[in-house]
Structure 1
Amino acid sequence: MHERGPDERGRAEERSAEERSAGGRAADESAADRRSALVEHVAVALLAITAVLTAWSGFEASKWGGEMSISFSRASTQRIEAAREATTAEAARAVDLQVFGIWLEATAENNRALQEFSRERFTDHFAPAFDEWLATRPLKNPDAPRSPFALDSYVPPGEVEAQAADARADEYFADALADNRRGDNYTLLTVLFALVLFFGALSNRFSSERRSWTILAGAGVLLVVGVVFLIAFPKII
């Protein structure tokens, strides 16, 4: 049997060392590839979830914007209704003032016929207030109300309706402002999710695995914060 010389044994040992070194490098590269693939998988999952949440936030912002427009429109309609009813009330008040003025003139002139004539033409909503005012003996009582129009019992037609329409308008206007604020919140949430998308896409651009994981961790924190806000915000399904 041929025995290897010192040179041959040295070369064999060198080849063995090179093979072990190559095997080690291959194992290191394989582990690095696995870690890189893990970073990519995590980034893809993060981006996919964030994309869905961004779309949902945009949808909610749009819906709340629509609700805001509807509430503003309803508020405007009620303002118009209040103005129309207020006009009716003012017209009725003007008629009552004219007839009451005639009665005052007749009373001052002691014209009984004109007094009766004017009283017969008092409107149904003015007559009770006039009787209540007259019962206070205004011609002799200095503490009596100055006119029937100062009494709570005098309510011309349209006044209550105008106040109710104004109250409804105020409610719709407040709802519109609240809807606008909610839409703005969802808009800001889309900006937050956009940052998550940006950092998630940026994580694969670094050669350093540590930097990639750091960027992904920051994006994950932003995503969690966004999800918490998304759960807390009111929604329109």
Structure 2
Amino acid sequence: MTPRPTDETFWADLSEKLVSIALAAAVVLTAWSGFQASKWSGVQANSYAAAGAKRTESIRLSTLAGQQAQIDVSLFVDWLAALNEELRSGEVTLTSARDYVPDEGTLSGFLYVRMRDEFQPALRAWLATDPLANPDAPATPFDMPEYRLAAQEEADRLRAEADALAQRAREANQTSDDYVLTGVLFAG
């Protein structure tokens, strides 16, 4: 016959079992916290890497847009100087800037047809405002809403994506830190 446990033995056994269960739970929760911290560190690293790649491409496109703007400005200034000289010499006559039709036999016509496709809508819209006679016309085509640089717009979009990814990385870092702290608390 097995001896009947005393109250003291019962409580000691129960206490031992409860401590074992608590320790096992702490081990499992500490391991889980470590796994989560590692997982969120990976999200952080991947997000920072993607943000860096998008930022690099954004800078490349922004540089390209700056180069395109320089080309547009240079050709516009040269075209304007050539047109002004042709108007003074009588080689070209205009009653309104709206009437301008490029003649490739003139320097202004030669330059006009070589302007970038992306710049031409702004130039045409600017000429339609009759800047030679209309004092309210914008000073240059670069002030027109039609003047757009697709490379700059894409650069701005990529920069916004990079900023969002960097924010995601910072949040993942905080989440990882929270799990590390949780693991430390469970291990303690």
Q: TM-score, normalised by structure 1?
A: 0.67
Question: Is residue 92 of structure 2 the alignment partner of residue 92 of structure 1?
Answer: no
Question: Is residue 158 of structure 2 the alignment partner of residue 182 of structure 1?
Answer: no
* Structure 2 equivalent of residue 218 of structure 1: none
**Higher RCO (CA < 8 A, seq sep 6+):** 2
Question: Is residue 168 of structure 2 the alignment partner of residue 192 of structure 1?
Answer: no
Give 2:113's aligned amino acid. Answer: E
Residues 88, 157 of structure 1: 8 Å contact kept: no
Q: CA deviation at 1:31?
A: 2.0
Residues 129, 149 of structure 1: 8 Å contact kept: yes
* Structure 2 equivalent of residue 47 of structure 1: 23
Tell me the secondary structure at the aligned position of residue 154 of structure 1. Answer: coil
- The correspondence for 2:144, drawn from 141, 145, 151, is 151
Tell me the secondary structure at the aligned position of residue 81 of structure 2. Answer: helix
- The correspondence for 1:131, drawn from 120, 124, 139, is 124
Number of corresponding residues? 169
Tell me the secondary structure at the aligned position of residue 103 of structure 1. Answer: helix
- The correspondence for 2:80, drawn from 96, 104, 107, is 104
Question: Is residue 6 of structure 2 the alignment partner of residue 30 of structure 1?
Answer: yes
Tell me the secondary structure at the aligned position of residue 158 of structure 1. Answer: helix
User: Aligned-pair RMSD on alpha carbons?
Assistant: 1.9
Tell me the secondary structure at the aligned position of residue 177 of structure 1. Answer: helix
Question: Which 5+ residue runs of structure 2 have no aligned equivalent?
Answer: 93-105
- Cα deviations by residue, 1:27-85 (Å, 9 ceiling, x for unpaired): 9x932122112111111111101110110011000110011011000000001000111
Q: CA deviation at 1:157?
A: 4.2
Identity %: 39
User: Which is further off, 128-137 or 103-112?
Assistant: 103-112
- Cα deviations by residue, 1:140-179 (Å, 9 ceiling, x for unpaired): 2222222111222112341222122112111211111111
Question: Is residue 161 of structure 2 the alignment partner of residue 168 of structure 1?
Answer: yes
Residues 71, 173 of structure 1: 8 Å contact kept: yes
* Structure 2 equivalent of residue 71 of structure 1: 47
Distance in 2, matches of 1:46 and 1:153, equals 69
